Structure 1
Amino acid sequence: MSIKPPFTDLEINRSSKGFYEGHSIEIAVLSKSIMIGLVLWALIWPANASGVLGSLNWQLLETFNSFYVIIVGAFVVFLAVLAIWPSVGKLRLGGDGAAPEFSNFSWFSMMFGAGLGVGLMVFATAEPLSLWGSNPVVLSGAVEANSEEAVRSAFRYTYLHYGFHAWAAYVVTGLSLAYYAYTRGMPLTIRSALTPLFGRLLNGFVGHVIDVLAVVATILGVSVTIGFGVSQFVDGLYAITGVQWIMNLNADVPTPSTVGLLAGLCVIMGLSILSAVSGVGRGVKYLSNLNLVLSLILLLVFVIFGSFAFAMNTYIASLVDYVMNFWNLSFGAYSPQSVAEFTAALPADAVPYAEALRPGATNAWGSFDGFVSGLETDAAALSEATLTAVYAAGEQQRQFGWQAGWTTFYWAWWIAFSPFVGLFLARISKGRTIREFILGCVLAPSLVCFAWMAILGGTAVDLELTGGANGAILSASNTAKLFVTLGEMINGPLLTGVTVMCVVLVLTFLVTSADSGILVMNTIMSGGDQEVGNKHKIVWGLILTAVIGTLIFAAGENKPLDAMRNAMIIGALPFTMIMGLMCVSLVKALYRDGMRNKRHEAEGALAGE
C-alpha cells in the first residue's frame, strides 16, 4: 500500500513591496497590535495593569499549576525516548551528507548564551541561597531552614529548575522546527511543527494565530530575562561606582531604582539592536564566544578563592539526590487548598480561629516560628501541640504556593523562552543527528549548569553556613547576591577587576539574548526567512524596549519586575499547549517518514533484483 507524501506545501503570504516587504503582514500587524496595546495599557493605567496582571496570573496558577508541572516532565521523557530509539536517534537533520555549520565550541557557546546565560548570572548565588531557606523539604518540617541538613534539598530543587527540564522545553520546540526545516525543506517557523496534525489549515488564520502566540511568548520571555539582567547590571554598576541615583536606597535592602533600570535598559537594548543588524554569523557568534570565555574565567575565580571542596561535595551529592528523586520532581504536582479543606483538617479547638490561623499556616515563605510569633488574641493562646497540628494542616497550601511561585514560574519562563531559544537552536544545528541534538542541548548544558550553580552558589552557602558572611549575602537582593559574595570572598584590586568583568559578562549575555530574540522574532514574521531587512530588526528592538520599560514602570518602585513576571506566565500558557501538540505532531511525522523510508528501501531492493 502506498503512503501519501507528507504535507509540505506551507504557504505564508508575504508582502512583495512596501514597509513589510518579505514579511507576513497578518503576523506582524497582529503581534505589534498586541504588544502596543500592552505598552499603552501599562503606560496610561499602570496601577490597573499591574493589579489585573497579578490577579489573572494567580488565577491561572491555581487552575493550571499541575498542567505546567506534568507537561514539562513529559517533555523530558519524550526527548529521552527519541534519543534512545535507535532508528530515530541516528537521523541527521538535513540528510546523511549534511555537515554542521558551526564548530562544537561555537555551537555550545551560542546555545549556552541564548539559553541560560542571564539566568545563571542572576541566580547562581540567589537560587541556592533562597532555596536553602525555603523548599518543599523545609516546608514539610523534615529539615530546618538554613541548616547544614537543608543544603542537599536546596540544590535538588536548584538542579530541577536549571537542569534537564529547562533545556527539554527548549529542545522540544527546537527539534520540531529543525526536523521539518532540514528534513522536509519547510520554512523555519513555528507553524511548520504542526503540519502533520493540521495540514492546509495552517496556511490561513490558524497558522497566523500559532505564529503570533509564539511571538508574544517570545517577547514576554525575553522581557523577563532582560529585566532580571538589567537589574543585576545596575547592581554591578553601583558596586563599582557607588552612583546613588541608579538605586533605591530607601528600601530595607538597596535595589535598582526605576530610573536606573530604565537607563540600563536603554543602554543594553541599543547595543542589542546594533548586534542584531550584524547577523548570527558575526555579532551573535562572537559575543557568544566571549561570553563563554568570561564565564570560564569567573568560574576559575570561584574555584581558586571560593569553597571549591564544599562545592564539589555538594555537586556530587546533589546530583545523585536529583537523579534519585527525578520522577517525583517531574510529576509531583500540588493543587491549591481551599479554606474548607484547611478548616476540616484543623483540631477541634482550633476551628473557631481558622480565619486567623490560615494566613500564617499556609505561608510558603514563612516558618513555624514565624507563624506562632505572628498570632494575636485568643489564637496565640492555643497549645503548642494544637499549633503544630494547625501548621501541618496548612502544608498542602504551602507546598502549592511554593511550587507555583518557584517551579511553575520557571516552567513558564522556559516555555515562553522556547520559541526564541528553540528556533535559534534549530537555526544553528543543521547537520546534527537527533541524538546529538538532544544530548548536546539537554544533557551537556545541564551538567554545566549544575557545576556552575554548585561552585558559585555552594561558595555563597558555605560562607553563610560557616558564619564568614554573617548574613550579608542572605540579606542582599537577588540580583546583588553575586557581587556581595565576591566581596566576602576577595578584596582589593582583584575584587574591582572581577566585578567589572561580571558587569561586562552580564552586559554581553543580555545583548546576546536580546539580539537573538530580535532575530528570531523577525524570522517568524518573515515566514522562516532568515535574511530579513535591518529596519525590522530595529523596529522590534524598539518594541521590546518599550514593553520592558512600561512594565517596569507599571510595577512601581518596590517590585519593578513583578508585572513582567505575571505577563510572562499568562502569555506562556497558550504556547505550552502548542508545545504539547508539537510532541504529538513530531511522533506522527517520525513514524510516517520511517514507513516511507522503509517503503522506498523495499522498492529499491525489488528494482535491484
Structure 2
Amino acid sequence: MSIPEPFTDVEIETADSGFYENYSVPIALISKAIMVGLVLWALVFPANANSTLGSLNSQLLEVFNSFYIVIVGFFFFFLAVVAIIPSTGRRIMGTPGEKPEFSNFSWFSMMFGAGLGVGLMVFATAEPLGLWGSNPVVVSGAVEGNTPEALQSAYRFTFLHYGFHAWAIYVVTGLSLAYYAYTRDMPLTIRSALTPLFGRFVNGIFGHVVDVLGVVATILGVSVTIGYGVSQFIDGLYAITGMQWIMDLGGEVPTPSKVGLISGLVVIMGLSIISAVSGVGRGVKYLSNLNLVLSIILLGTFVVFGSFVFAMTTYGTAMVDYVLHFLSLSFNAYGPLSAEAFAAALPAEAQAYAADLMGGATNAWGSFDGFKSGLEGAAAELDEATLAAAYAAGEQGRQFGWQAGWTTFYWAWWIAFSPFVGLFLARISKGRTVREFILGCVFAPALVCFAWMTVLGGTAIDLELAGAAEGAIIGASNTNKLFTTLSYMIDGGLLSMLNVMCVILIMTFLVTSADSGILVMNTIMSGGSQETGIKHRIIWGVILTAVIGALILAAGENNPMDALRNAMIIGALPFTMVMGLMCVSLAKALFRDSQRDKHSASSTQAAE
C-alpha cells in the first residue's frame, strides 16, 4: 500500500505591486497593528501599561510556569530521540547526497557567533554572581548565598539557563524550518512547519495567525536583548568617559538613566537603520566578523589576568554536577502556594498569624533573618522554632517565585528569540544530516557558553571570595558587573583599552542583532523570501526602536526593563504552544518519510 505524498503546496498570497509588493498584506498589517498599539498604549498610558503588563504576567505565570518548564525539558528529550533513531538521525536536510554548504569550521564559527552575543556580554558575570547569591538550593536554606558552599549550585543553574535546554529551544525551531525548506522545497517560514498536522489550513487565516505569532515573539525577544545590550553600552560609555548625564546617580550604585537608555537606543538603532539604507551592511558584516576575534581577546585577558585555574576547576565540577541533576533540572516545576495550603502547613500556634507570615515566608528574594526582622506585632513574638517552621512552610512559594523570576524568564526569552536564531541556524545548515544538526547546534555552542560563563563569571566570584572586590561586583547593576570586574582585575591603559573594546563589541553585536532580527521579521512577512525591501527594513527598524523606547519609558524608574520583560514573557506564550505543535508535526513528518523510503525500497526490490 503506497503512502500519500506529503502536502507541500504552501501558498502565501503576496501583493503583486504597490507598497507591500512581495509581502503578505494580512501578516504585515496585523503585526504592525499589534506593535503600534503596544507603543501607543505605553506612551499615552504608561502607568496603566506597566501595571497591566506586570499583573497579566504574574497571572499567566501562576498558571503556565510549570508548562514553560516541562515543555522545554520535552524539547531537549524530543531532539535526543530524533538524533538517536537511525532512520531519522541520518536523514539529510536537502536532496539525497547533497553536501553541506559550509565547511565544519565555518559552520561552527557562525554558530559561535550566534551564541556569543549581547546576552553573554551582559550575563557573563551577572548570571553566575546572581545565582551565587540566590538559587533554589539557597532558597531552600540548605546553603547560604555568596559563600563557597553556594558555588556548585550557582553554576548548576547557570549551565541550565545557557546550556543544552537553551539551544534545544533554538534547534526545535531551526530543525523544523530547515527540514521542510530543504527536503520538501517549502517556504522558509513558520507555517510550513505545521503542514503535516494542518495541511491546507496553513494557507488561510490559521497560517497568518501562526506567522504573526512568530513576528510578535521575534520583535519582543529582540527588544529585550537590545534593551539589556543598550543598558550595558551606556555603562561602558560611563566607564570610559565619566559622563554623568547618561546615568542615574541617586541610588546605591550608578545605573543607566532613562535619558541615557533612550539616547543609546537611538544611536544603536540609527546605525542599524543607516546600514540597511546606505549599504553599509558590508562594513557591519566586516565588524561582526571581528566580534569573534575581539571575544577571544576578551576571553584571553581573563585567562591571563583572571582566575583561570579557579575557573577551570569550577568548569569540571560544575559540568559533572549539571549532568547528574539534568533530569530534575528538566522537569522539576513549581506552582504557586495558596494561602490555604500555607496555613495548613503552619504549626498550630502560628496559624492565627498566617496572613502576617505568608508574605515574608514566600519571598524568594529574602532570607530567614529578613523574614524575622520584617514581622510586626504578635507574629514577631513567636519563638524561633515556630518561625523556622513557618518559614519552611513557605518554601514552595519561594521556589515558585524564584523559578518564575529566573528560569521561566529565560525559557520565554529563548523561545521568543528562537525564530531569529532558528532561522539563522537553518540557513547555514543545508546539506547536514538531522543528527549532525542536532548534535552540532545543541552541544557545541552550549560548551562555549559554559566556558565563557566560568572564565568570566568565575573570575568575578573569585575576586569576591578573596575579598579583593569587597562586595563591589555583587553590588553593581547586572549590566555593569563586567566593567566592575575588569576594574578590579586590571588597571591603567590596559583597562581603558579593554573598556573601549567591550563597548565596540557590544555596539556591533547590537547593530547586527537588530539588522538580523528585522531581516527575520521581513522574511516571515514575505512568505519566506530572503530578499526583503529596504523600505520595510526601515519601517520595522523604527517600530522596533519605538517598542523598546516606549516600554522603557513606561517602566518604573528603578526597573526600566520590567515592562519589556513582562511583554516578552506574555508574547512568548502563544509561540511556545506553536513550538509544541512543531515537535508533533516534525515527528509525524519524519515517521511518514521513513515509511515512504521503506515502501520505495521494497517496490524497487519487487520490480528487480
Task: Give the TM-score range, shorter chain.
Answer: over 0.9
Q: How does 1:500-539 map to 2 (within 5 A)?
A: 500-539=500-539
1:276 Cα shift? 4.6
Q: 1:218-264 deviations in whole A, cap 9, x for unaligned?
A: 00000000000000000000000000111011122211011111111
Give the secondary structure class of the aligned counterpart of 1:560: coil
Q: Which residue of 2 aligns with 1:298?
A: 298
Is residue 46 of structure 1 aligned with residue 46 of structure 2? yes
What is the distance in 2 between the residues matched to 1:565 and 1:281?
29
What is the distance in 2 between the residues matched to 1:278 and 1:603?
57
1:380 Cα shift? 1.7
TM-score (norm 2): 0.98
What is the distance in 2 between the residues matched to 1:205 and 1:111?
34
1:95 Cα shift? 2.0
Q: Which moved more, 1:464-473 or 1:183-192?
A: 464-473
What is the distance in 1 between the residues matched to 2:350 and 2:451?
47
Q: How does 1:149-548 map to 2 (within 5 A)?
A: 149-276=149-276, 282=282, 286-548=286-548
Q: Which residue of 2 aligns with 1:575?
A: 575
Is residue 36 of structure 1 aligned with residue 36 of structure 2? yes
Cα contact 1:114–1:512 (8 A) shared by 2: no
Give the secondary structure class of the aligned counterpart of 1:557: coil
What is the distance in 2 between the residues matched to 1:127 and 1:354?
34
Cα contact 1:114–1:513 (8 A) shared by 2: no
What is the distance in 2 between the residues matched to 1:249 and 1:106?
45
Cα contact 2:274–2:280 (8 A) shared by 1: no
Q: Structure 2: state its 5+ residue gaps.
A: none
Cα contact 2:22–2:526 (8 A) shared by 1: yes
What is the distance in 1 between the residues matched to 2:280 and 2:93?
20
Q: How does 1:110-129 map to 2 (within 5 A)?
A: 110-115=110-115, 117-129=117-129
Cα contact 1:276–1:537 (8 A) shared by 2: yes
Q: 1:338-381 deviations in whole A, cap 9, x for unaligned?
A: 11111111111111222221111111011111111222222222
Q: Which residue of 1 aligns with 2:133?
A: 133
Q: 1:12-54 deviations in whole A, cap 9, x for unaligned?
A: 0000000100000010000000000001000111110000000
Q: 1:111-163 deviations in whole A, cap 9, x for unaligned?
A: 33334511111111111111111110011111111110100000000000000
Q: How does 1:543-562 map to 2 (within 5 A)?
A: 543-562=543-562
Q: Which residue of 2 aligns with 1:594?
A: 594
Question: Against the structure 1 CA distance between its residues 113 and 512, is the aligned structure 2 distance closer, same or farther, given a 3 Å change threshold?
Answer: farther
1:196 Cα shift? 0.2
Q: 1:72-113 deviations in whole A, cap 9, x for unaligned?
A: 000000111111122212222112333333344443343333
What is the distance in 2 between the residues matched to 1:110 and 1:262?
31
What is the distance in 1 between the residues matched to 2:263 and 2:109?
28
Cα contact 2:135–2:402 (8 A) shared by 1: yes
Give the fraction of aligned pairs with identical amino acids, expressed as a percent: 75
Letter in 1 for 2:563: A
What is the distance in 2 between the residues matched to 1:89 and 1:279?
40
Q: Which residue of 1 aligns with 2:70?
A: 70
Cα contact 2:358–2:394 (8 A) shared by 1: yes
1:266 Cα shift? 1.1
1:287 Cα shift? 4.2
What is the distance in 2 between the residues matched to 1:429 and 1:287?
23
What is the distance in 1 between the residues matched to 2:561 and 2:367?
25
What is the distance in 2 between the residues matched to 1:85 and 1:102?
25
TM-score (norm 1): 0.98
Q: Which residue of 1 aligns with 2:603?
A: 603
Cα contact 1:156–1:322 (8 A) shared by 2: yes
What is the distance in 1 between the residues matched to 2:354 and 2:301?
52
Q: 1:437-490 deviations in whole A, cap 9, x for unaligned?
A: 111111000000001000000011111111111000011000000000000000
What is the distance in 1 between the residues matched to 2:332 and 2:429?
33
What is the distance in 2 between the residues matched to 1:558 and 1:105?
44
Q: Which residue of 2 aligns with 1:59?
A: 59
Cα contact 1:109–1:288 (8 A) shared by 2: no
Cα contact 1:343–1:351 (8 A) shared by 2: yes
What is the distance in 2 between the residues matched to 1:390 and 1:151?
27
Q: Which residue of 1 aligns with 2:22?
A: 22
Question: Against the structure 1 CA distance between its residues 250 and 25, is the aligned structure 2 distance closer, same or farther, given a 3 Å change threshold?
Answer: same
What is the distance in 2 between the residues matched to 1:31 and 1:240?
39
Letter in 2 for 1:543: I
What is the distance in 1 between the residues matched to 2:276 and 2:296?
25
Letter in 1 for 2:166: A
Letter in 2 for 1:380: A
Give the secondary structure class of the aligned counterpart of 1:245: helix
Question: Against the structure 1 CA distance between its residues 2 and 93, is the aligned structure 2 distance closer, same or farther, given a 3 Å change threshold?
Answer: same
Give the secondary structure class of the aligned counterpart of 2:117: helix
1:171 Cα shift? 0.4
What is the distance in 1 between the residues matched to 2:201 and 2:453?
45
Give the secondary structure class of the aligned counterpart of 2:245: coil
Letter in 2 for 1:17: S
Letter in 1 for 2:135: N
Cα contact 2:94–2:183 (8 A) shared by 1: yes
What is the distance in 1 between the residues matched to 2:95 and 2:279?
26
Cα contact 1:132–1:151 (8 A) shared by 2: yes
Give the secondary structure class of the aligned counterpart of 1:181: helix
Q: Which residue of 2 aligns with 1:88?
A: 88
1:512 Cα shift? 2.1
What is the distance in 2 between the residues matched to 1:440 and 1:4?
33
Cα contact 2:115–2:445 (8 A) shared by 1: no
What is the distance in 2 between the residues matched to 1:217 and 1:120?
20
1:9 Cα shift? 0.5
Letter in 1 for 2:323: V
Cα contact 2:115–2:449 (8 A) shared by 1: no
Cα contact 2:284–2:508 (8 A) shared by 1: no
Q: 1:258-294 deviations in whole A, cap 9, x for unaligned?
A: 1111111111112223445689995675444222111
Letter in 2 for 1:205: I
Letter in 2 for 1:168: A
What is the distance in 2 between the residues matched to 1:427 and 1:339?
50
Question: Against the structure 1 CA distance between its residues 85 and 547, is the aligned structure 2 distance closer, same or farther, given a 3 Å change threshold?
Answer: same
Give the secondary structure class of the aligned counterpart of 2:334: coil
What is the distance in 2 between the residues matched to 1:499 and 1:85?
48
What is the distance in 2 between the residues matched to 1:278 and 1:176?
34
Cα contact 1:258–1:556 (8 A) shared by 2: no
Cα contact 2:128–2:453 (8 A) shared by 1: yes
Give the secondary structure class of the aligned counterpart of 1:19: coil
What is the distance in 2 between the residues matched to 1:318 and 1:422?
28
What is the distance in 2 between the residues matched to 1:400 and 1:279?
48
Cα contact 1:114–1:516 (8 A) shared by 2: no
Question: Against the structure 1 CA distance between its residues 66 and 280, is the aligned structure 2 distance closer, same or farther, given a 3 Å change threshold?
Answer: farther
Give the secondary structure class of the aligned counterpart of 1:436: helix
Q: Structure 1: state its 5+ residue gaps.
A: none
Letter in 1 for 2:58: W
Cα contact 2:189–2:527 (8 A) shared by 1: yes
Give the secondary structure class of the aligned counterpart of 2:158: helix
Q: 1:175-201 deviations in whole A, cap 9, x for unaligned?
A: 000000000000000000000000000
What is the distance in 2 between the residues matched to 1:287 and 1:210?
35
